[in-house]
Amino acid sequence: MKKALKIIGITLLIILALLVAIPFAFQGQIKDMVKTFINQNLNAKVEFSDVSLSFIRSFPQAHVSVEDLVITNFKPFEGETFVTAKNISFDMSIKELFKNASEDPIVVNSISIDEALLTLKTDALGNNNYDITKENENENAQATTDSSSGFAFDIKDYSINKSALTYIDEKSKTQMYITELNHSGNGTFSEEKSQLDTKTEANVSMSMDSVQYLNQNKIKLDALIGMNLKEQKYTFMKNEGMINQLPLVFDGYVQIIEGGQDIDITFENPGSTFKDFLAVIPETYSKNVENVETTGDFKVKGIVKGKITEETIPTLDINISSTNASFKYPDLPKRVSNINIDTSIKNTTGNVDDTFVEIKTLNFKIDEDVFKSNAVIKNLTKNMLVNANIDGTLNLANITKAYPIDFDKELSGILKAKLNTSFDMNAIETNAYARIKNSGSVNISDFIFSSEDIVNPIQINKADMTFNPESVSLNSFDAKTGTSDFKATGTIKNILGFLLSDKKLQGNFNLNSNNLVVSDFMVEDKDASETSNKTTSAAQSMKIPDFLDCTINAKANTVIYDNLTLKNVDGTLLIKDQEADLKNLTSNLFNGVLALTGKISTKTDTPVFDLNIGADGFDIAQSFQSLELLQNLAPIAKILQGKLNTVIKLQGTLGSDFTPNLNTVSGDAFAELLTTSIKENESSVLTKLDGALNFIDFSKLDLKDIKAKLDFSNGQVNVKPFDLKYKDINIVVSGSHGFDKTLKYNAVFDVPAKYLGSDVNQLLGKISDPEVNKITIPVTANITGSYTNPKVQTDLTSGVSNLTKQLIEIEKQKLLNKGKDKVTDLLGGLLGGSNNGTTKDSATIKTDSTKTTTTNTVTEGVKNILGDLLNNKKKKQDSTKKQ
C-alpha cells in the first residue's frame, strides 16, 4: 500500500512538474502563433511585452496571456493609438496548441480583457481607423471559421474589465465616451440557437454637433439575450436596464442584415412616479432621491424600429410626460410644484436629418414664481433649427433652496423673461441676422455674479434687455464690484452665438462710473486675508476676457489706480482677442491733463503693454513723488517745483497688480519744464556740486523752458545733451543713470574768467582790456556714484592754471609792445628832435657836457622800461607759482 501511494505521489509530482515546465517549452511556439495571426489578419503596427502560457491556471485547459498590447494605426491615421490593453487572456484546450493555425482553426473557449482603451474614429473624409483587417482573396461568409482565419470561437464566457471606449465621428460631429466599462457574458456561441447572459456597467457621455445629450450618465444593463446565429438575430428575452437611477425594460430584437442592422425595440420605465424623473439626472447633481417626497406621475416610453444602414436610421417615437407633479428634498425648505412635462423625440422617415425634439410643455413653480417654456428643435445632425418660447419669473436664490445643486457662490436675484427666439445654428455661426428672429425682453435685478474670469463678484442691481431680430439692446445696466460702481447702455450683436457656441460677445457700450477702483478688478495679494470674496487664485493675474469683442466708450468721475487718483476720465477702449486698445483716453491728474493711447495685451501669461503717455501742465513735485516710473526716469526731478510737459513712449510687461515691471520697460521721452524752481537742500547731488563749484548757487539755476530727450531700456536711462543756464554761465548736461539710482553724468560749465578767483581778477585788472573780460574756460563735472551718495570730480584747478598762464602771456605781450613804443618815441626824439624843422647846416653842435647828459637820459629811459618788464615778469612768475 505504501509503495502504491509512493508511486502515485511521484506520478503526481511528475505531472505537476510537467504542467509547470511544458509551457516554457511551448513559449516560443505561442509567440510565433500570435505573430502569425497578427501578420495574417491585421494591417497595423502591433506590439506586446510578453506572451505567456500556463497549464495550471485554468487546468485542464491551457491559458494564454498577452501582456501590454498596443496597436497603432498606419495611414491615414499614422501614429495614432487604436487600442491598448494591459492583459488579454485566452483559455483553450491543450490540444489546440498542437494544431497548425494555417491548416486547422484554433478553438478559443473564453476571453478576458483587462484595462483596455479602444478608440474608434472616423475622419472628415469618411476614413475609419478600425478598418485594419487585411482583405482575403477567398473571403466569404464563413471567413471567421475557415482555415484562412486561423481561429474559431466556441466561447463559454468572456469579460471586459476596467476598460474605456472612445468614439469620434468628425463627419457627423458626434462624440461618445464610455468609461469605467465592465462587461461580461456567458453562453455557447457554437450552437445555432443559444442564450447569452450579459451584465454591463459603464458611464456614458455623448454629444452631437456641440450639444451634450449625456454627461457621465451611469448605465447598467442585465440582459438575457436569445441568439440565433444562423439568422444573426439577437432577441431581448429578459432584461432590466438603468440610466442613472431610472429603471427601464426592453423588448424586441436586433438582427444583422446585409449592409447594416434591423432593429425593433420598445422600452419604458416600469414605474410611473415622478421620482423616476429625478433618477434620470446624474446622481452627482440629483443626490440621493430615495427620501425625496414626490407627487404626480412620470412616464418614458419609446419605440425604435427600422434599419441602420449608411443611408437610414430606425424611426423613433420616444415620449416623456408628467402631469401636475412636485418634489421636495427633505433637507431643503422649498418645493417645486405644478411640474408639467410633455416632450417627444421623433423621426418618422428614417432619414437622420428628420429627427426632431418637441418640448410642448416644460412648466414649474417655486413659491409664487411660475416659469413656462416650450421649444421645437429640428435637423439635429446638421444645421439645427430652434424655435423656443420662455415666459416666467425665477427667484435665483430659490434654486439651491429647492434642488441640491452646489454653486461656488450663492445665487441671488430675480430673473424675468418673456422671450421668443427662432434661428438656425449656421445663421449664428455666420452672423446671418436675417435668419435670427428674436423678440421680447429679459430683466434681472439684485443679481450677484461670480466667475473665474473676474476677481470680485459683480452685483447687478438692474439689467434691462430688449431682444430685436438683429441685436439685443442693453437699455440699462447698473452694477457694483468691490467699491466700484458702473452703469452701461449699448447694443449686443450676437448674444445667441455667445451663449450657444464659441462666438465672441460683440457689442458697443457706453460706460459711466462715479468711482472706479482698478484694484477691484485685480488679483488678490498672496498675503491677503483668506476670507476675501475674490474668486481668482492669488497666482493669477488679471486677464482681459477672451470672449469679449466690443467697443466701450467710458467716462468716470474718479478712477483710482494704485496710488493715483484720476479725475474726469474720458476715452474709448477697443477690446478684442484679450487686448485692450486705448483711444484718446484723457484725465485730469497732478493739476494737469494726462493723455493715453496704445495697447495692453493679456494673451500671454505675462501681460504686456505698448503705450504713448502725454502729460500737459503736470505739477512736477506731485507727479514725481507719486509715479515710480517718473522717479526712475528722472530721480532729480523730485526737487523741482513747477510745471511739466512730457511725451513718453514705452513698452514692457505688467505685474500681477497690473503695474509696469520696471526692469522690462523700454522707450523714449521728451520733457519740457515750465516756470520751475528748486527746493533748497533737497538734493545730495546739488550739494556736492555746490561744494565743488562755489561760484554757482545751484538753487538759483534758470530752469525755464528746459527741453530734454532721453531713451531707456533694461533699467538704464540715457539722457541726450540739454542746456541749462546760471547768470552768464552756460551749462550742458548729458549722461545716464540706472533705475537702481546709479549715476554717470557729465556737466560742462562754460565759465567766464571773472568767476575764477582774486588772482585771476588782478591779472584782468592789469591787462585792462574789455576783450579779455570775455574769456571763458570749460569746467567739466563728472558725477558718479548713486543718487543718494553721489561723487563729483571737476577739472577746475587745471582750468584756472591754464587760464592764468594765458593771461600772463597776454600781459607780457602787451607790455613788450608798450616798451617798444616808448623806445621808438625816445629814439625818435633824440635823433630827430634837433632839426626842429631846420636844415642840418643850421644845427648847433652841443658841448661835451651836453652830450653826456643826453646819453644818460636815453640809457635811463631804456632801463626803466626793461625794469618794468622784468619786474612785471617776476610778479607774473610769482603769481603763477602761487597758483
Model pLDDT, residue 18: 40
Measured between alpha carbons, how far is 374 from 362 in angstroms, rounded to an integer?
6
Model pLDDT, residue 764: 66
Whether residue 121 contacts residue 103, with contact meaning beta carbons closer than 8 Å, is answered with: no
Percent of the chain scoring above 90 in pLDDT: 22
366 strand-pairing partners: 336, 369
Sorted by sequence, the CB contacts under 8 Å of residue 430 that are 6+ apart come out as none
Average pLDDT (71-87) is 88
Tell me: pLDDT of 880 over 50: no
445-449, 563-567, 754-758, 813-817: least confident range: 813-817
Of 452 and 281, more confident: 281
Tell me: pLDDT of 526 over 60: no
Residue-wise pLDDT tens digits, 237-275: 888 888 877 888 989 999 988 878 899 999 998 877 888
* Max avg pLDDT among 93-102, 206-215, 670-679: 670-679
Measured between alpha carbons, how far is 179 from 161 in angstroms, rounded to an integer?
11
Q: Where are the domains of the chain?
A: 22-135+146-171, 221-385, 808-830+855-883
Say how many C-beta atoms besides its own lie within 10 A of residue 698's C-beta. Answer: 17
Model pLDDT, residue 581: 92
Measured between alpha carbons, how far is 19 from 25 in angstroms, rounded to an integer?
11
69-83, 124-138, 220-234, 307-321: least confident range: 124-138
Model pLDDT, residue 154: 63
Measured between alpha carbons, how far is 143 from 883 in angstroms, rounded to an integer?
120
Tell me: pLDDT of 147 over 70: no
Core vs surface per residue 636-664: b (16+ CB within 10 A) or e: bbbbbebbbbbebebbbebebebebebeb
Of 754 and 552, more confident: 552
Measured between alpha carbons, how far is 506 from 499 in angstroms, rounded to an integer?
12
Model pLDDT, residue 16: 40
Tell me: pLDDT of 765 over 70: no
Measured between alpha carbons, how far is 526 from 523 in angstroms, rounded to an integer?
9
Tell me: pLDDT of 715 over 60: yes
Measured between alpha carbons, how far is 720 from 704 in angstroms, rounded to an integer?
18
Tell me: pLDDT of 183 over 50: yes
Tell me which DSSP letter residue 96 carries. G
Burial of 109 (0-12, 13-18, 19+ CB in 10 A): buried
pLDDT tier at 864, thresholds 50, 70, 90: very low
Of 153 and 624, more confident: 624
Model pLDDT, residue 436: 82
83-97, 153-167, 785-799: least confident range: 83-97
Cell 406621475, residue located = 297
Q: Give how far the C-alpha of residue 871 lies from the chain's centroid of Cα atoms, to the nearest Å.
A: 87
Model pLDDT, residue 190: 62
Whether residue 517 contacts residue 484, with contact meaning beta carbons closer than 8 Å, is answered with: yes
- Among 206, 207, 237, which Cα is nearest to 222's? 237
Alpha helices in 292-353 (DSSP H): none
Whether the link from the prior residue into 23 is cis, omega within 30° of 0, is no
Tell me: pLDDT of 558 over 90: yes
Residue-wise pLDDT tens digits, 3-45: 444 444 443 443 344 444 444 445 555 666 666 666 667 778 8
750-764, 787-801, 832-846: least confident range: 832-846
Of 602 and 36, more confident: 602
Whether residue 483 contacts residue 515, with contact meaning beta carbons closer than 8 Å, is answered with: yes
Tell me: pLDDT of 107 over 90: no
Q: Which three cell numbers stand for residue 809?
A: 602771456
Measured between alpha carbons, how far is 394 from 622 in angstroms, rounded to an integer?
52
Model pLDDT, residue 767: 67
Torsions phi, psi for 768 (to 5 deg): 50, 55
- Among 585, 593, 672, 679, which Cα is nearest to 634's? 672
Whether residue 53 contacts residue 62, with contact meaning beta carbons closer than 8 Å, is answered with: yes
pLDDT tier at 105, thresholds 50, 70, 90: low
Give Cα separations from 238 to 180, 221, 247 (angstroms).
24, 11, 14
Task: Specify the amino acid at residue 283.
Answer: E
Tell me: pLDDT of 669 over 90: no
The residue count for the chain: 883
Measured between alpha carbons, how far is 176 from 837 in angstroms, rounded to an integer?
139
143-147, 156-160, 235-239: least confident range: 143-147
Average pLDDT (598-627) is 86
Of 656 and 322, more confident: 322
Of 574 and 828, more confident: 574
Percent of the chain scoring above 70 in pLDDT: 75
Model pLDDT, residue 29: 57
At residue 819, the 3 state secondary structure works out as helix
Residue-wise pLDDT tens digits, 353-383: 888 999 999 999 998 899 999 999 988 777 8
Average pLDDT value over all residues in the chain: 77
pLDDT tier at 342, thresholds 50, 70, 90: very high
Of 596 and 91, more confident: 596
At residue 744, the 3 state secondary structure works out as strand
Residue-wise pLDDT tens digits, 486-514: 999 999 887 777 776 777 888 999 999 99
pLDDT tier at 848, thresholds 50, 70, 90: very low
